[in-house]
Amino acid sequence: MLKLVDCSGKNHIEKITLLLDKRRDLNTPNALIVSKIVNDIKKNGIKAVKKYEKKYVNNLEIKLSQKKINKIIKKLNPKVKKAIDFAYNRILKFHSKQLKNTKNILYKDKYKNKIEYKTVPIETVGIYVPGNLPSSCLMNSIPAKLAKVRRIILSTPKIDGKLNAGVLYAAKKVGIKEIISCGGAQAIACLAFIYKCNKIVGPGNKYVAEAKRILSGKIVGTEAGFNGPSEICVLADKYSNINQVASSLISQAEHDVDSQCILVTKDKNLIKKVNKKIIELIKNLPRRKIAMQSLKKNGIIVKVKTDKQIIDILNCISTEHLELLVKNYNKYTKKIYNAGSILNGEYSPMCASDFTVGTNHVLPTSGSAKFSSGLNINDFVKKISIVTLTKIGVAKIANQAITLSEFEGLRGHTQSIKSRIRR
């Protein structure tokens, strides 16, 4: 089922890179189709949004009333409510610790020049939440609330014609008052052009990701990394529990047919067993068709020979979730620089971090963990520098500034500085 890649020889990084690039290329939707949707909504507004919602999911109701929201929430199983409350408290507690990194900075030099760094929240943020994931609502909205974002708009699609009561309850728990029923590329365009969001965050399918890519830097800000489709990489050895290895791979595969599951190991016997165990465990899975398709399409077993190869390959893959299902995980953890989240040992499954650990599960995918982080409070604030120089202070730093402006051929800069010190 999972494709075997033998990296015991030379050029192992090239082999892995080719496979990863192939998958990423296949997961890129037709940009022209997405651009058409985005431009149509830009031009025709809510009318175009309704057109695409009707076309794709037969949804005729975009903006939700509070009465409608409360009615749906009432149907939610109390057990699920309790679980959402539990997750909310843990996510809130962990992300609150990040506030210390958003404090203002003040520096004064001996000339009484004052330099400040002011942290301010983004004014309006759009949050996209797949239709059945209340945990994703919590992960996206809690850090935004802690950052004191003034206005949050939630967009979540209907699944089989229905809104998810868990998502709506999670939104209510955080205090989100504006909710729209909309999905896909049209949801992102709606948040950008109709609700005038300054930033849009949240995971979604490849159409959501493409719409965010098209709009990023032009109309709105987005996360630094790509968020979706989901990924997991599992490092295992001869001591690893085969049931845990197989179930971790399956747990990610059931997300989406475009999800990627990778096993990295030195052990030949483990390789022989893992496909058999997956087939055994997947039989009674409600989403087995999705999981099977995902594993056949994007499942990879990487056979390695040395620890150095392991480190090189794991950093090359730069996966969203990295499970180190080995006893001596510390020797690897310290050398992993590219991963959205690292989960150490057999008692730290990715699935726990997806829901109730407290860390954020909106993580970089498609190799973007090489340059970006998981969602955090810093995604919802801006840093503004404030400069207040004195008459003596500007004179003291002027000569060096003039030297640099002259060197760079910027004579106007020189004149501007000199105009401040000719008094």
Q: From the candidates 12, 95, 255, 321, which is the catalytic residue? A: 321
Find the helix packing angle between 165-174 and 66-73, rounded to 10°.
120
Contact 62, 49 (CB under 8 A): yes
Q: How far is CA 221 from the centre of its chain?
A: 13
E-state strands within 131-265: 151-156, 178-181, 199-201, 221-222, 231-236, 260-265
Give 201's DSSP letter.
Answer: E
Two structure tokens written together for 127? 């949050």
Q: From the candidates 210, 320, 323, 346, which is the catalytic residue? A: 320
Closest CA to 344 of 242, 421, 234, 261: 234
Two structure tokens written together for 216? 């990023």
Please give the angle made by the CA atoms of 221, 136 and 373, to the nearest 5 degrees: 50
Query: Does residue 320 carry a catalytic annotation?
Result: yes
Whole-angstrom distance, CA of residue 263 vs CA of residue 248: 10
Query: Does residue 321 carry a catalytic annotation?
Result: yes
Closest CA to 202 of 276, 103, 128: 128
Which residues are catalytically annotated? 320-321
